[in-house]
Structure 1
Amino acid sequence: MRRIPPLLERYRAWIAAGVAAALLAAALVALDRLTREVRMADVKAALAMLSPARVVLAGAFTAASYLALTAYDVLALRIIGRPLPWRTAATASFTSYTLSHNLGIALLTGGSARYRVYTAAGLDGPDVARVIALASGTFWAGVAAVAGAALALHPDTLNLPGVTLAGWQAQAIGMVVLCAVAGMFAATRLLRTPVRLFGFALPLPGAGQFAAQLMVAVVDLACASAALFVLIPDAAPALWPAFILAYSLGIVVAVITHVPGGIGVFEAVVISVLPGDRATLLAALLAYRVIYYLAPLALGIVLLAFHEGRRQRGAVRFVTGVEDAVAAIAPLVLSAAVFAGGALLLLSGALPSVGTRIGDLAHVVPLPFIEASHLAASLVGTMLLLLAPGLYRRLDGANLWARTLLVAGALFSLAKGIDYEEAIVCLVIAGLLQWTRGAFYRRTALTQAPFSAGWLASVAMVLGATAWAGFFAFRYVPYSDDLWWRFAVHGDAPRFLRAGLVTMAVFGVVAIWRLLSPAPSRAGPAALEQGRLDVALAHAERTDAMLALTGDKSFLWSPEGDAFVMYAPSGGTWAMMGDPVGPRDQWPDLMWRLREAADRVQARLLLYEVSGPVLDLAIGMGLAIVKFGEEALVDLPEFDLETPRVRNVRRTARTLERKGLSFRIVPAGAMPLVIDELAEVSREWLAAKGQREKRFSLGRFDREYMMRFDTGIVQLDGRIVAFANLWTTPNESEASVDLMRHRDEAPSGTMDFLFVQLILWAKARGFARFSLGMAPLSGIEDRRLAPAWARLASFAFRHGERLYGFRGLRTYKEKYAPRWEPRYVAGPGGVGMLLALRDVARLIEGRRRQRRPVAVDRAVSMPTVQPTLTVVG
């Protein structure tokens, strides 16, 4: 498979967004040409002629269509063998389709909503991907069947924007499409195994299930198209075949282009294909967009926000079983609501005032007040578009500012032309944000998040659609240079030009400011009081607490100052190293505070190499648990070099002793006498192994760091040939080693000799155990019903010797007759765990890659240890 060029891969999201924006621009140009003879007054008159009965009927067909859409997910869940209650599938389907219908980019908007709902219901990432793939397949099968039939039955010339097809060409294309649908049906009868692509298995529906999918899709499209058909006053039954063709082609083009809501694209295709009065047709399309697109979105936002507010207050839940799903997607839909509210204010500023309202308002307030309110309303709309991404990130500041701006927008809407409809919309959205304010708890600065390609494309599309609507509305207003400076009660065109100019200026200033402003820097490591560290380390039960002295970690301290957790950021992950250090009654509060701090800056939290006592806390925090391996511990009171179990290392140690190897401990205070020679041994060892210094989970050879600890050295003829610096807990519960390095000339078995001497030294000084370190992936069961990660880890342990030497490492440590204790990692489930482990691997390798820095609230910013700390006494 040909790889995507790195440059294209890096800017793929921006390229896709640019293509979508360009397609919208092309569609608006085509729509402008198709409606060149249409006047705004004609469209208003056609809208006024829509009877309430037609509107109600269109609403009924819309409800039937969305009900059919829920069956897409129900069938997909059954096909993958993970059926869920209808209410859960309906929540996922309704939320997904209302977002993707209005915002476009279905995989990013609708797919994100489905992922949040289904993972909350217990599905993993691959299962959610299968549901999305099968639901998309159902939709496209229905569209293909309907469009293919309509093309095959279309005898006349087909005119599309930029393309003209003869009747026989359209029919041929329709027959090919129908054959493709028939081929899909045949494949469900012939293929009995899942389709596998890049390791992803997608089960195929059976013949009956495929027929059910096709029927559901046809019903959905029939109801959706009927909702538009009944809004066309002069539509006769004879128009139905051409209408179905126009509708299905419009849907196809809108989905392919990923233009939000298919705005402009759908309308251009339908108008170009369907005969009839274009003013009436454009009015029907506008009413259809409100009924089929915006009304379900508004309903979903209100229901989800209301339910989320009740959930936060502990009220009785009215949709049992979907509470977690609602909590996950509420900020997403409210972000969409605020974005839509901003777009509404901008669109209102581009259109003429309604009826005689502005004339009535002019009798009450002066004209300058009306003009200023018009500009202010457009500015509020602009700011709401800018704040929408902050709401998606659950920022409390974004929630507060959005509420304030929405209330101001409602007031300005009334003051610029008594536009009470949009004022009501603004106040409703503000009320929903107030009701759900508990869901917005992060305190990251609003200006720290980078602009995303999708958001910028959506903003560009809103501005483009708003500009098109304004120029369409004032197409027949003669332009002149002084039009910008005309101020009159009925001067809607000048107000539109001024509001558009101010809006573009604001976006331009914000974009330039964000592009030219320097990236905020993180504060460097801060000094840490040695006495404070000594107090916490006095409670340490594991020697990896000494990693606090490496100078590459940040700390979160208990209020009493006698306990801490150490962590380091890497990519989108905060990795906590080892167990918390300090009294155990401080652990729960420390870990929850760390989780909340990571969540505020939208980072994944990974607990790395933690022990059993941490598991209950990790489970309570909602983290997924994965066994990482086992640690070899030698119980020193029972250790006896004369026992048969350690005869191999006993024989090696005594043989090397007879050959002249000697061992001694160099106290930390005497390290300056040997540090140069140890540095030479370290450089030689790194060069021979082709390695570089690691970080985070072990120390590195740094002179100041090494001089904090006692060090065991092995000498041959008075020359140091191997060394290991010692980690010991102040309460003598455990001793261990950190760096272990030797010269090439060291006799075979030198490290066994060093280990034996260190173990005997620790035993003589009363330590309870000696840690030989981790054996990664060791002790993980590979059984038929074990989870996939366990089976993969076990396979790597058995067959990955060339990559790491997993089995050999455990075999080596077994010579010392240790007992094995499990160690775990805990973090996000699914793909998030893989991403977190990747980030930690980069951290250990010294290749820590930071995201664009995100400011952290001072209450959770923790100092980092300087590498100039004094030695622990």
Structure 2
Amino acid sequence: MKKMLQWFKERISYFKIIFIFSVIIIILRELLTISKTISFNQLGIVFQDIPLWKIALMLLIGLVSVLPMLNYDVILNKILGQHPKKRFLFESSWMINTINNIAGFGGLISIGLRSEFYGKEKDGKRVVQALSKILLFLMSGLSIYSLISFLLVTLGHTNDYIQQYWVWLIGGSLYFPIVLLVSFFKKDNYIGDIDRKTRAGLILTSFMEWTGVLGSFLLIGMLMGVKMNPLQIIPLFIAASVIGIVSMIPGELGSFDLLMILGLSALGISREVVVAWILLYRLFYYIIPFLIGVIFFMNNLSYSLNKRYSGIPRELSTEVAHKFVVFLMYFSGIMIVLSATIPEAFIELTWLKQLNPLSFRIITQIPAILLGFLLLITGRGIAARVKRAYFPTIGLIVITLGYTFMKDFSWGVILFLSLLLLIIVFSKRQLFREQLVYSWEMITVDGVIFLTLTILYIVIGVYNLPAFPHHKHKFISFFLFPSEKIWLSGLIGILLVTLVSYLFIRYLEGKRYKIGMPLDDERALSLLLNYGGNTDSQLVFLGDKDMYIYQNSAQEDTVLIQFKTINNKCIVMGDPSGNKEDFSDAIEQFINEADRWGYLPVFYEVSEECVMFLHEFGYDFIKMGEEAHVDLPSFTLSGKKMKSERAVMNRFTKENYSFEVLSPPFSDELVSELKQVSDEWLGSRKEKGFSLGFFNEDYLARSQIAVAKNQSGKIIAFANIMPTYTKEEGTIDLMRYSKEAPSGVMDYLFISLFQHMQEEGLAYFNLGMAPLSNVGTSRKSFIQERIAYLVYEFGSRFYSFQGLRDYKEKYATAWVSRYTLYSRESFIAYVMIALLIIDNAPIEKQKNVHGIRRILRNRSQR
């Protein structure tokens, strides 16, 4: 015996799994059986004759009738000395009792489920003892009602047909006194040892449970308008229940239904009404509460799995549910519009009719088109996860449900819309964005759908014109409309829905909120001086970008992110500046805040370090090119390789050209001279900003300027030295020369800068980007990079990409890759367009651009 018990204990987990799967199989089998007993057409006819408020009241009655059973689990946990959370107790108890209603087996399944939910952390023997007490009193309420029913039969309140069941009523009524006596006199820990309070609670709970069962059946009948005498129906109902439980048939199916149909028919109630009555009782007391229990079960299961697997299952399921509901809303909207546009197609084409979940007629074209397009627009709000879309979407589906109930009842539509409504209600947490930023990607998707449906409708109108040649050759019969008047009403609906759609989009957009702040010179400079920067940091002082400041736990500014917004894209210029230890937290905070307000960050020309971090956030990336670095400590003009550069330096020295580094503040005369050189270099071209500095006195006054002068001391070329706020890296921004500058002046300026920074003790000089260099050269590269490679190969006729690479190759000792990262929610084409617009917009128009960097730091070399 001990070996058998030990063997059982070692395999208890397997037995639990078998039990759970057995319950699931029983439930599925009984649901299938119930579905066979329910005629959905019959229910549809019944619902059409019952006012909506009565149906809602029946639903409420069914839900309230389940509530008394929850007290079994309250008492069980008191016996076990447990204090579970109220929400867990409510959900698990509801689930257990509604499953037991369906599965039946005299309450045995509910005992097994209670053991699984509440007995995991308790001694097995103690759990069995507590459960045996619950099982003992489960049927005491039915026994009390059996005694009451027997008295009604004995006193002559029933007809002859019902009186034949007196034996069953006596048998049922004997159960309660026997159980009560046993619980008093039995001294063991399984049946006896029950204190008065617990005993009274179990008896009252069972009585209230059966009061709910009986009351829901009677009240549903009354709401149906059935003329009846409750004193005759109560004994019949109780006798049928006793027979059903004794038979151990799950849900008392078959035996209960048969006895009730025969008995109620004997009372003069028509069989059709009885069948409808039982169907409604099954629906509101069994099916709907059970479905709610399934939701609770899935919630508890997801919570357990989520806790076990670090939150991944919930994230996956909510994401899938969100995608699914968006698909359903778009699909439904398209199908409704098509059903109004080509209604005959849904009759002639069987596959199209089966594909349409909303296969019902909406009377006129205008309601159908309005409903379809509104589902598309609310679907956009749900797809964009905007909070404001929640209640309008629920309201729209509820209106559709009500319309279906009252005008064109269809079980398929009811179930479909109910499922859609349920998913949306439980997806509220997925709607976290404060506003809709209607992106180019959204406009493209919605525009294609809207335009396709609208053009199709107009084409059909043209097709139906009397002059159209189809009247001789009718090759598409379902394109024919009953009348021009009906088609015109639909066209009016499309025009109306255009206005409604615009207003709804404006509602979702709200008052546009932009993240970040305008340039704060003092705050930005203080952060850079305290924590350092990089070769892009100084660009923030151009004033053409916004800045985002991250503060650490001590509320100190530690990280600066500079960006510009265009459409829904926040184009971030280069790596963040500041304390590198806070970069990951700062980027994460920036992404989350942007996401909350409906923006998608794009990180332009960032380092590999940022790529690795941002890839964890689901960002895709494309290599933009390579940055040339010159190792300053090892730089020399000696050797065969630098022969031509030595010649340039010797020539400029021999001709008495000079190199000088000027420090601010600068005189008005110097600024005027620099402006003249800059204007000559620009010619008819316009200044550009964002990723490249432009001639601005305030901007130039923040750093040193390297100048090349001719024999007479006139400046013929200059470059502003960009502060990197580090002691390792040096670089320049603007590099411009006048018409008087001789050839080779750029080499002269560069080599002089290398020597100057070499003396300053800097580690390397950043020559800037070689765009698209070494991008997509492998057949295994991303398709985006392969396309970029084609641009590199064949674009030289417009811009000398290869020439720029070759020029910098003379000096470069190392090449560092730079990347652009973008969210997977963005279309790469639109990302590149946004970069092109921002990086190439003339500076005077930059203020009008909502939303990228140097295609080339040394664009001035052209």
TM-score, length-scaled by structure 2: 0.48
**Structure of larger gyration radius:** 2
Of structures 1 and 2, the one with the larger relative CO (CA 8 A, separation 6+) is: 1
Q: What's the TM-score once normalised by structure 1's chain length?
A: 0.47
